[in-house]
Structure 1
Amino acid sequence: MMPSPVHSVLWFSLLVLWASQSETEALTPDVCQGDKYDNDFQTIVDEHDAKAVLSDEKNFPCYLFPKNVVNCSWTFPALQEGIEIFVSISVCDEETEIESSKSQGRNGSKLFHVPEYEDLYVILQFNISLHNKSAVYAYTYHMESHAVLSPPDNISVSVKDGDLSVSWTLPSSKDTEAPECFEYELDLGNQESPKTVQYELFYTGQNADPSRTYRVRVRTRMVPDCQDNSHWSDWSHVVTIEPTNKVNLLVIVLISLGIPMILLAVLLLVRYQRVSIIKILFPPIPRPPPKYIHFLEKHDTFNIFLPAPSMEPVEEITEVEDTVEKS
């Protein structure tokens, strides 16, 4: 059915106003109203052929991350020089618009924190302008089909019998609980490329080195058979396993002290190589001075000094004369 002239004039007026940036009214009123289909690409105005570039959804992905975070980005490096592009994003819960944003440029991204929802959709509209010709396209995402998983939980790591064993639990998904719908990547922290595991909830690496430290983290996503264009989750927290044959600290201290002593002994041997080792280890007892030798040769070796002679008391004599008077 051909659009009526009134509708054509209305569309042309809206496009001209938006391209000139004199107004920022919505391209289509009530964009969340009506039927919506996942990955639905609609051509609204096609005066300029940019459909080949804009029809590839890899150029404008939208994902629903944990905690109800919607992230949409776009990049159009292949568009012709001189083209102006305007992007309008509407976040809809059923037929109600709960968030919206408008931007200009070939590259950009928008982040939305949405409340609890029943049926979440994101509708992107692209307005392309070049030489007074315009093209308007719209693309619809059903966000439940573009949900990013949370990283795996309950990660366990151990080294036993020369094998590195890693296990985790099945991620939570609203779409499916089938283990064959999930694949995983493991980063072992050894500068190697991540290990890929499909369907299983464990990984076993052979020839593990018990003397090194492993820092393991895991992420997951849905396989293409269960979800198209799935996105890797964030990495899990790092689980660290330390070496099992660590050298005891006391041994390290003893070695550190013992090596210098050995080197000192070798140095002494080289320095005094002409001197008898017995004389170095057992030097002769020193001889006493000659003036004490005669005391040591006597029997009373401990009575070195003679006693001082005792002094005799001095007697005092007093003479008394008796005289008689004559009459």
Structure 2
Amino acid sequence: MKLFTVHPVWPIFLSLWASQCGTEDNSSDVCQEDMNPDELNILSSSGQMEYVDKNDVNETFSCLLYPRGLLNCSWSFQTLEKDAQLSVHINVCNGNTRADYWNIASKDGVGFKYWNLHAEFKSVILEFNMSLHDKWTSYTYMYEMELLEVLSPPSNISASVKDKYLMVTWSLPGSRTTTNPQCFEYQLDLGDQEEPKNVTAKLFYKDLNDPTRTYSVRIRARKNKECFLSHVWSDWSHTVWLDQSRFKLNTLVIISISLGVPMILLAVLLLVRHQRVSELLFPPIPCPPPKYIYFLERNDPSSFVHLAQPAKVEEEITEVEDTKENAEKTF
């Protein structure tokens, strides 16, 4: 904690005292003061000024500028003494000119204010004035644009598998202050409740692919400490799905191919040998003998019963020659 006492700085003292009294014109002079964005200025009614780190005080406050120009400022002064009054002044400065402002009386020491900014600006200065009877203390802190800005999530996200590697690519996040790729860091969520992967100053991620996984890829970004002091992550991007099951042959497809190919070959063979195969598969129906046709036409089942015919007796014929007559002719 940096703490030192200096002689009263009367211009600042008078400006803050006027702000405490509600004088709007003098309060606008805060944009003209030379302030260090890394320090919290504390001025008390005794005339003592301190420069400390904002994390060294019990009170908390912050301002964030979201991608669509939404400025959100919040504060919590829960250590205020009973009956103490807190007034909050939010000054939007464009250089030395105040572009917009809000004055708020916070009764319970906790509050927030957000609104859409349409004017151009470079910094936001917060003033917290605490008063109790004849004593007062003022906090003054300046946010530069680099500290205020919350990035847009990365866009143009693609995920694919190449040569047994998972490859994820994306575009730079939207920023009002920089387009330098070296000033951004990213977190990749690949699904399956794994820890996010950290990537710095790159627009791609490469790792060995797990062919059994279905990846759900989303990315968020923030400015890294090499360029800025902002530690606020952007929102997560939309999710890109990579389902690898559509690249694999399942059991049903393999069985279908195994049975389908032989059946196709059989169909071709049947077409080539149609006539021969037809004769074998569909032989002609035999025609009944004529003697059965009459009974079939009568449709009388009893007609099919026949008595066995007696066996035909063959006649034996004996030829007798006249031997006497033949003998006379011989002599």
TM-score range, shorter chain: 0.5 to 0.7
Distance 1:112 1:251, change over 3 A: same
Aligned amino acid, residue 113 of structure 2: K
Aligned amino acid, residue 111 of structure 1: Y
SS of aligned partner of 1:29? helix
What's 2:198 paired with? 196
* Residues 1-327 of structure 1 mapped to structure 2, 5 A cutoff: 15=20, 26=24, 28-39=26-37, 40-46=39-45, 55-56=54-55, 59-77=60-78, 79=79, 82=82, 84-94=85-95, 95-104=97-106, 105-117=108-120, 119-130=121-132, 133-208=135-210, 210-245=211-246, 251=252, 300-305=295-300
1: CA distance, partners of 2:18 / 2:170? 57
1: CA distance, partners of 2:135 / 2:17? 10
2: CA distance, partners of 1:45 / 1:171? 42
Contact 1:153 1:171 in 2 (8 A): yes
RCO comparison, higher one (Cα < 8 Å, 6+): 1
Contact 1:48 1:130 in 2 (8 A): no
**What is the deviation of 1:245?**
3.8
What's 2:327 paired with? none
Distance 1:221 1:3, change over 3 A: closer
2: CA distance, partners of 1:196 / 1:165? 15
Q: Which of the two has higher C-alpha Rg?
A: 2
What's 1:282 paired with? none
Gaps of 5+ in 2: 1-6, 257-291, 302-331
1: CA distance, partners of 2:299 / 2:224? 107
What's 2:269 paired with? none
Distance 1:301 1:51, change over 3 A: farther
Cα-to-partner distance string for 1:149-207 (whole Å, 9 max, x where unaligned): 22212111013444321111233445444332211011122222211111221112324
SS of aligned partner of 2:131? strand
Contact 1:221 1:233 in 2 (8 A): yes
Contact 2:19 2:27 in 1 (8 A): no
Aligned amino acid, residue 295 of structure 2: D
Distance 1:73 1:242, change over 3 A: same
Contact 2:63 2:143 in 1 (8 A): yes
Corresponding pairs, count? 252
Gaps of 5+ in 1: 18-23, 256-296, 307-327
Distance 1:13 1:110, change over 3 A: closer
Contact 1:53 1:76 in 2 (8 A): no
Cα-to-partner distance string for 1:55-74 (whole Å, 9 max, x where unaligned): 33893222222232222222
Distance 1:205 1:109, change over 3 A: farther
Contact 2:61 2:75 in 1 (8 A): yes
Distance 1:144 1:112, change over 3 A: farther
Distance 1:230 1:36, change over 3 A: farther
What's 1:261 paired with? none
Contact 1:184 1:196 in 2 (8 A): yes
Cα-to-partner distance string for 1:259-287 (whole Å, 9 max, x where unaligned): xxxxxxxxxxxxxxxxxxxxxxxxxxxxx
Aligned amino acid, residue 232 of structure 1: W
2: CA distance, partners of 1:70 / 1:3? 31
Contact 2:154 2:171 in 1 (8 A): yes
| More divergent stretch after superposition (30-39 vs 134-143) | 30-39
2: CA distance, partners of 1:68 / 1:28? 27
**What is the deviation of 1:213?**
2.7
Contact 1:37 1:141 in 2 (8 A): no
Amino-acid identity (%)? 33
2: CA distance, partners of 1:70 / 1:14? 22
More helix by share: 2
Distance 1:164 1:145, change over 3 A: same
2: CA distance, partners of 1:93 / 1:301? 116
Q: TM-score, normalised by structure 2?
A: 0.61
2: CA distance, partners of 1:205 / 1:163? 6
Q: TM-score, normalised by structure 1?
A: 0.62
Q: Give the alignment's Cα RMSD to 1 decimal.
A: 4.1
Contact 1:70 1:114 in 2 (8 A): yes
